[in-house]
Structure 1
Amino acid sequence: MLLASGPVAAAPGGPWWEVEAEEENPSPFYDSIPYSEIGPKLRDIEQSSNRVQIEVSGQSAGGRDLFVAVVSAPEAGGRLGRYKAIANKMVTDPERAQEMIADLGDYKVPVFVNGSIHGNEYPGTDAALRLIETLAYDDSPEVQAVLENIILVVNVVHNPDGRVLGTRANANGFDINRDMLSQTQPEAKAIVDIMTEWNPLSTLDLHGFVNPMLIEPTTPPHNSNYEYDLYLKWALGSAFAMEDELFARTGLAAQIPYRDFGDGWDDWGGQYVPMYAMYHGSYGHTLETPSRAELGVDAHEAAVWGALNFIVDNKDEMLHDQVEMFRRGVLDIPQLPIPDELLDETTFDQYNELVVQEFPTAHVIPVDEPLQQSPLQAQRLVDFLLFNDVEVEAATAEFTVDGTTYPKGTYVVWMDQAKRSLANTFLEDGKNLSDVQGITFYSPPAVWSHPLLWGATRTVVTDDLAVGTKPVNNAVAASGTVIGTKGVAWAFEPTSLEAFRVANELVADGTAIRRAPEAFSDSGHTFEPGTFVVTGGKSLANSLASGEGLDVYALSAMPDSVAMEPQRIALFSDEGTRHALDQLGFDYDTVSTGDVNGGVVNVDDYDVFVNYSRSFTGLQQSGRDALTAFYAAGGDYVGLRSTGVDHAIDAGIIDAVYDAESGNAIVEVDFADTGAVGGYADSDVAFVFTPTWFTSVGPDVEVAASMGVDDFLVSGYWPGWEVSGAAGQPVVVTTDNGDSDVTLVGLDVTFRGHPENTFRILGNGIFEGLD
């Protein structure tokens, strides 16, 4: 039975092992352990074995505990702090870490096993529990060898929400194995904590279902930020060992993509747990068990044992090369290509060329305006980097790069650091792969860039940079400013997510707040379309500046503006759009196809229908009639991507023709001076996965944003983009359909909750209905 109610973790006020039972969806193929029994079982193991310690690393999106088991020899229990200290010394002083390892004499390498990141891939968690039990109680030579050489860190059930609900995703609808670059979800953040605490030598992520069993390493393309030559040597050897152990224990065969596939199962994107782990120096593997039944548990268990035995036999050499990954970064040693002996006919030369790159000298991130596009997003980016174990420093004096002078305190992310691969992955613009012939990605995105897509200004420095810097432990809190001392009202512009969130909070609190749909000038400052205007005393202005980091301006006159009120939103969308609305501070109701067909979307209950993926023609006649009545009565519409655009055209609420292609890129976008895109510079960037542009629009349709002209593709994979016809064409348009306001967005402004800078396009579209 599928639960719709909120989940239950530990008993309220009780210890973690007292888990309240709830209705669950166990595997229909074998007797999988329910989530509610995992905590008590782990507690029993912890109490009866001196080899196991259980930690709660956090809670899932649905509030359920995440259990981490640390399994080690009894004598290692009191030295875990020492082992962690060495693991962390690897990234600050790799050579000293090697000395500490030699001095310690019996250094045990941490190995990470991740159980069932996809909730309905049940065998991973059951295999993890079997593994813990065997290591906890067995005294065989094989077990003793593992305990003497390895500290096993097991995330027993990475997705408890999905295990309870019988779903791939967590309670927020997110596929956590697509979230490691964005880290919108608590389960992803828990993985980051494990990686930065332990720097595990190897990472084994237990999935299903591929037959024969799939054991990575992957096919090309291999991301150019990895130290792939060092990774591949041991990842491939470990895969062979897992294959052998799988066959020996179960008689099952395996397939290794690097050896057996031409392409189609790549490690380009760091959104997956094993690939993210590789940026932390870990030999990462996805394991796809072949069976949904008990045999799937057996297969995972066998493969993991193969990896553990291989590590026991090769620990010192594997550890040496892991530390070498970090040493290359610290000493700015160039990357090396994949060794010839590891290449075969399935590895395309053009893919191998992507493996090696030159790292820049540094990435420079200004703190404040005017050099910083959004101080709040810069703060968010720097704190994100620090959380991920990237070293960030601050300039101790002003300095100049390419004619621009940066003040003291500017953030500098040097690339001569241990985790340069991770730092550059987050901060670079990405690469244009569009001309690479035959390239295939298992899952998007093929490109990402936190500065570009989060709206934080960053400068890449490739030459020598002479400036003193010192480490920072956290970003300086963005401080807003109150400009002016007295006025008829106060204004703040829609240039940040916080501006929208604050505006929605003020509306909800009943504070008188208005929105100016057009640009206006006051006291020498020109305000963006969509600027928020609030009445109140100086204390309110000070609170918005100091507490929220907003620049607040005193107005000498009230501009043309519209009173704001709560927008009642009916939402048909994906998890990324829900996340964007949460970040912007909107309340909404998620509606299903059945709801729409049942007439739920009506003007008595909703002001605006936000649509990500509900076609108009695919509805029953009752649904089409209900929406037609909604639009005719003044209900507003915001349509996203090609499906949202097509819906509006089929519903007859806009006069437009569009084109769309399959693309996966960061593109330049030119913004008009209109409230539909208020708060953006004349030229900015956006992400597209299904790029959609308008080839013609009616005379009453206003173009709010257009694809850039000429070389509009910044990075990514969009074959034929130059001849697509998208250059210079509208990508965001608005129109009035009687009393109904319609906004259509052909960009992927909320893709998996990542492109934060374009969330505001969605917010502006919703607020357009106020005008």
Structure 2
Amino acid sequence: MAIRMKHLLLLSAWLVLATWGKAQTVPSPEEHFGFFMGEDYHLANYTETEAYFKKLAQTDRVRLVDIGETEEGRRQYMLIVSSPANMDNLSEYKAISTRLAYAEGIDDKEARRLASAAKAVVWIDGGLHSTEMVGTHQLIEIAYRLASGTDAETLHILDNVIVLLTHANPDGQELVANWYMRHKDPKKRAMNIPRLYQKYIGHDNNRDFYINNMKESGNMSRQLFLEWMPQIMYNHHQSAPAGAVVAGPPYTDPFNYNIDPLVMAGIDALGASMLNRLTAEGKPGFTRLKGSPFSTWYNGGLRTTTYFHNIVGLLTEIIGSPTPMRIPVVPNRLVPNGNTPNPVTPQAWHFKQSVDYSVSLNYAVLDYAARHREQVLYNSYTMGRNAIEKGSRDHWQLTPRNIDLIQANYDADLEAGTVKRDGENSSSRIPYSYYEAVFADPAKRDARAYILPADQRDFPTAVKFINALIKSGIFVHKATAGFTVDGKAYPEGSYIVKTDQAFRAHIIDMFEPQDYPNDFAYPGGPPIRPYDVAGWTLAYQMGIAFDRVLDGIDGPFERLPHGVPESPPAQRIADTKHGYLISANVNDAFIVVNDLLKTGVDVYRIPEALGDMPAGSFYVGPSGTAILKQAMLSLGLKATPVQRAPASAIKIKPARIALFDVYGGSMPSGWVRWMLEQYHFSFNLIFPQEIEAGNLKTKYDVILFIESGIPPYPGGRYGRTMPDAAELPAEYHHMIGNLSTRKSIQPLREFLEQGGSILTTGSSTRLAYHLGLPVKDALVHKTDGNDVPLGSEQFYVPGSVLRVKVNPDTDATWGMAVYADVIFNNSPVFHLRPEARSAGIEALAWFDTDKPLRSGWAWGQHHLEDGIAAFKAPVGKGHLYAYGPHITYRAQSHGTFKLLFNALYRQE
């Protein structure tokens, strides 16, 4: 019997190997591309990669999934790789993965049974930032290894893990690879691409994942948060800090307090697995913790948004280039320590070394998932269950501000003599009552739900906010009838977002202010810059009206179909002979206005309020009825019939718009390019050569400078070295050059004097100084009688949401509320000189308090009080608009879009 059993086991093993052997027929990358992945001076483009993925999909380990269209019209693919047996049951394993993640209707016993029966799901991507070509080529290499490998480790991984290999930016790979490879001489190959490697936003495609404006972001978010819910995701990037090979987990503080601690524990565990594997393989140079600047605070990146969905998100930043490079001498990287336990020495470095490191890191992650399959699956359920429980009861979040309040209250009582110090160390001897006064205060509880009233100023934009949540896997309810909560009545169609759901952390992060801790290099020293921004609360940015509900609520609510975006409620109007009014409060009004103007329908603006219509609302005659009716159905716009045309109506025409851009592409400009297309504005791009050639008013009415473009350039953003025209195709010659102060200011001045308008935001507002306008920097202090800019130790606001008061009595702010939330990133702030009033300069927005912070971090914010955030200045027959804050920030700040749109029409 023992001999027979032995023969059966041998036969079984032989059959398994025979079955796996089918996978070895797949061609290697070298056979397909003509070079190996990581060969110096060689890059694969997306056309070749897509063809290779389709070859891999012919094996029984690989399935090719089309996850959607890119912004340039290519197909974006995800490879699903696992054992043949697992591939036969993918739908079952996907259902278990999502069921555990949502954690609804499951008890602990059932969760453990499901975790035991399921396979871990791991996401690995590459190519998001397309000049970071290590990511793309490691994706090709790992796909081949998993599709063809017959070693014991690979087979164990495939038996226990479902791997999602996702190409993050097909358009960028095609552009960058073709550009780099266009020279026959390898020594001439370079990455100086002429435009952004994502059609609109380039590097900022990794800042789009809580709003999902771009098609690629939406495609990937659907797979991550609606379709698969992987337990682990790995996001490949480059480059590492100088003197290291790769930066990885665990990351530096602070981490976002909304994230479940099991996510952080998982990051630590996987970071240890990565470091262990590289060290064991003799691959030095892994740095972590304070060895790199990468944190887990920000939401919105491909990796970081996953944290708020209970996914263990991993990021590595690795060196590498198809053009060979060197690891530089960085002495403080050469001493082994906790940040860099195994330093790399200075040396020559080749592309393949980076690809090999990346493959090893992939295997470290996959091996961990295979070995700890049940644990990572069960932890997904545990985090979802924890979130549901927090949203079902009173809960107080441990935020820095509330914790500081404990100490502040105790210190105040010590000073007042109402309490005596207990022990030498006051911070460890504070009575419990001080903790309880903050963290048992009913008013400081977390919200159990958020209500978005259907009768708010701009409900179509509120629907866009709701859709951002829906695309991120959030469950949303909608009122089927009117209801009342805490004495306030809400109409039918209002939205309710309850927090008793698995992705509660993401909900809180989208509605509530971020409380970034004071973070300094040392007491009294300079602030440590956050990796991205410190505050971003999307509901604030979008200008959404909502109410926080602190107790559980129910009512005539229906839960919307999961993952299905909402449309604003269709509106209808009766025909009229006298025309219609459209409220200036609604951003989408500009879409229909632009459509009407393009078809020749007359449109007017009303300079004063009429009944419920605010100043700046649009009047459209009866000839526009058909287009209006269509917009009311598709956009949810309301049009109010009138008995007569308003006497004060001012006829408008589309302005001829020029949007400034540069060789290589400007991300802020690219975001606005996308916005203008979404709102149906026609425009042209304008580059330095055309500006400096002058005669601008014959072609344009408005020129837009978004965040920069006016010299001198902060941090060298546009001071990049331009390629030689002889090295460029003729189609890119018009892009070459940077604006110069000597050559550009006079043509811009002439454009204004002849009746043109220039709109500037951020650092481009320095044009006001070049023009000699009577304004000055507000963020200064006096030293020896001179104005000196405030140092970062005195004033520092790194990407946060601040509140400004808005001047409602000017056409630039039509449709705006009295207060607006703006993104402020150490932005310009002004004071008007005494002669500014007589010069006709209007303040459009200003800080009317010494505490304008709404979300993020604002050190020394009292310096902002009475500072002008935005103004409008006449220059000859034209006007300069200067907006210090980022009114078009990453196409997220819908609450301030009108400050741009209002300037994009001509009045007759």
Q: Normalising to structure 2: TM-score of the pair?
A: 0.74
Q: 1:273 to 1:594 in 2, by over 3 A?
A: same
Cα distance in 2 for partners of 1:446, 1:306 equals: 32
**Secondary structure at 1:624 match in 2:** helix
Cα distance in 2 for partners of 1:58, 1:139 equals: 32
Q: Hey, what does 2:744 align to over in structure 1? A: 623
Cα distance in 1 for partners of 2:39, 2:617 equals: 54
Shift of 1:469: 3.3
Cα distance in 1 for partners of 2:570, 2:815 equals: 16
Moved more, 56-65 or 401-410: 401-410
Residue in structure 2 matching 1:551, options 624, 632, 638: 638
Q: Hey, what does 1:302 align to over in structure 2? A: 360
**Secondary structure at 1:765 match in 2:** coil
Cα distance in 1 for partners of 2:86, 2:301 equals: 31
Q: Hey, what does 1:9 align to over in structure 2? A: none
Q: Hey, what does 2:586 align to over in structure 1? A: 496
Q: 1:407 to 1:435 in 2, by over 3 A?
A: farther
Residue in structure 1 matching 2:891, options 753, 761, 769: 753
Cα distance in 2 for partners of 1:560, 1:336 equals: 53
Q: 1:433 to 1:169 in 2, by over 3 A?
A: farther
Residues 108-127 of structure 1 correspond to what in structure 2 (within 5 A)?
108-127=119-138
Cα distance in 1 for partners of 2:571, 2:68 equals: 36
Residues 676-695 of structure 1 correspond to what in structure 2 (within 5 A)?
676-695=812-831
Query: Would you say 1:380 and 2:464 are equivalent positions?
Result: yes
> Are the equivalent residues in 2 in contact too, given 1:199–1:281 (CA < 8 A)?
no
Cα distance in 1 for partners of 2:39, 2:588 equals: 45
> Are the equivalent residues in 2 in contact too, given 1:482–1:542 (CA < 8 A)?
yes
Cα distance in 2 for partners of 1:689, 1:483 equals: 44
Residues 362-373 of structure 1 correspond to what in structure 2 (within 5 A)?
362-367=449-454, 369=455, 372-373=456-457
Q: Hey, what does 2:775 align to over in structure 1? A: 656
Q: Hey, what does 2:220 align to over in structure 1? A: 191
**Secondary structure at 1:316 match in 2:** helix
**Secondary structure at 2:269 match in 1:** helix
Shift of 1:486: 4.0
Residues 586-735 of structure 1 correspond to what in structure 2 (within 5 A)?
586-599=681-694, 602-612=696-706, 613-615=708-710, 619=740, 621-641=742-762, 643-652=763-772, 654-659=773-778, 662-663=796-797, 664-673=799-808, 674-697=810-833, 698-699=836-837, 700-722=840-862, 724=863, 726-735=864-873
Q: Hey, what does 1:578 align to over in structure 2? A: 673
> Are the equivalent residues in 2 in contact too, given 1:519–1:526 (CA < 8 A)?
no
Moved more, 506-515 or 623-632: 623-632
> Are the equivalent residues in 1 in contact too, given 2:796–2:860 (CA < 8 A)?
no
Cα distance in 2 for partners of 1:504, 1:434 equals: 46
Residue in structure 1 matching 2:621, options 520, 524, 535: 535
**What residue ranges of structure 1 are gaps of 5+ in the alignment?**
1-20, 339-348
**Secondary structure at 2:76 match in 1:** strand
Shift of 1:37: 0.8
> Are the equivalent residues in 2 in contact too, given 1:225–1:425 (CA < 8 A)?
yes
Residue in structure 2 matching 1:59, options 69, 86, 101: 69
**Aligned partner letter, 2:234:** L
Q: Hey, what does 1:207 align to over in structure 2? A: 237
Query: Would you say 1:238 and 2:266 are equivalent positions?
Result: no
Q: 1:729 to 1:481 in 2, by over 3 A?
A: farther
Q: Hey, what does 2:715 align to over in structure 1? A: none
Cα distance in 2 for partners of 1:246, 1:393 equals: 48
Moved more, 471-480 or 726-735: 471-480
Residue in structure 2 matching 1:216, options 249, 255, 258: 249
**What residue ranges of structure 2 are gaps of 5+ in the alignment?**
1-31, 177-190, 322-350, 400-426, 429-434, 436-443, 662-667, 713-738, 780-794
> Are the equivalent residues in 1 in contact too, given 2:248–2:314 (CA < 8 A)?
yes
**Aligned partner letter, 2:871:** V
Q: 1:173 to 1:393 in 2, by over 3 A?
A: closer
Residue in structure 1 matching 2:201, options 151, 154, 173: 173
Q: Hey, what does 1:514 align to over in structure 2? A: 604
Cα distance in 1 for partners of 2:566, 2:751 equals: 47
**Aligned partner letter, 2:608:** A
Q: Hey, what does 1:770 align to over in structure 2? A: 907
**Aligned partner letter, 1:426:** M
Cα distance in 1 for partners of 2:628, 2:64 equals: 48
Shift of 1:593: 2.4
Shift of 1:33: 2.0
Shift of 1:427: 2.1
**Secondary structure at 1:565 match in 2:** strand
Residue in structure 1 matching 2:86, options 76, 80, 105: 76
**Secondary structure at 1:717 match in 2:** coil
Shift of 1:137: 1.4
**Secondary structure at 1:405 match in 2:** strand
Query: Would you say 1:136 and 2:147 are equivalent positions?
Result: yes
Cα distance in 1 for partners of 2:398, 2:802 equals: 30
> Are the equivalent residues in 2 in contact too, given 1:597–1:620 (CA < 8 A)?
no
Cα distance in 2 for partners of 1:696, 1:252 equals: 57
Cα distance in 1 for partners of 2:219, 2:78 equals: 10
Cα distance in 1 for partners of 2:371, 2:85 equals: 21
Q: Hey, what does 1:253 align to over in structure 2? A: 285
**Secondary structure at 2:372 match in 1:** helix
**Aligned partner letter, 1:629:** E
**Secondary structure at 1:285 match in 2:** strand
Q: 1:546 to 1:271 in 2, by over 3 A?
A: closer
Q: 1:486 to 1:362 in 2, by over 3 A?
A: same
Shift of 1:657: 2.2
Q: Hey, what does 1:6 align to over in structure 2? A: none
Cα distance in 2 for partners of 1:626, 1:742 equals: 14
Cα distance in 1 for partners of 2:821, 2:741 equals: 38
1:723-751 deviation per Cα after TM superposition (whole angstroms, max 9, x unaligned): x1x22333222232221122221221011
Residues 356-367 of structure 1 correspond to what in structure 2 (within 5 A)?
359-367=446-454
Q: 1:616 to 1:301 in 2, by over 3 A?
A: closer
**Aligned partner letter, 1:158:** N
Q: 1:300 to 1:475 in 2, by over 3 A?
A: closer
Query: Would you say 1:160 and 2:160 are equivalent positions?
Result: no
**Aligned partner letter, 2:671:** G
1:61-102 deviation per Cα after TM superposition (whole angstroms, max 9, x unaligned): 222222210001101112111111112212052636963762
> Are the equivalent residues in 1 in contact too, given 2:120–2:161 (CA < 8 A)?
yes
Q: 1:557 to 1:182 in 2, by over 3 A?
A: same
Cα distance in 2 for partners of 1:104, 1:65 equals: 33
Cα distance in 2 for partners of 1:476, 1:67 equals: 26
**Aligned partner letter, 2:293:** G
% identical equivalent positions: 20
**Aligned partner letter, 1:112:** W
Q: Hey, what does 2:185 align to over in structure 1? A: none
Cα distance in 2 for partners of 1:484, 1:733 equals: 41
> Are the equivalent residues in 1 in contact too, given 2:816–2:898 (CA < 8 A)?
no
Q: Hey, what does 1:265 align to over in structure 2? A: 294
Cα distance in 1 for partners of 2:817, 2:198 equals: 36
Shift of 1:603: 1.0
Cα distance in 2 for partners of 1:42, 1:481 equals: 47
Q: 1:539 to 1:414 in 2, by over 3 A?
A: same
**Secondary structure at 2:588 match in 1:** helix
Q: 1:65 to 1:98 in 2, by over 3 A?
A: farther
Cα distance in 2 for partners of 1:239, 1:627 equals: 53
What is the root-mean-square deviation of aligned Cα atoms in Å? Answer: 3.1
Shift of 1:178: 1.6
Q: Hey, what does 2:664 align to over in structure 1? A: none
1:242-273 deviation per Cα after TM superposition (whole angstroms, max 9, x unaligned): 1121233352231122xx44x83211111221
Shift of 1:634: 1.6
Q: Hey, what does 1:407 align to over in structure 2? A: 491
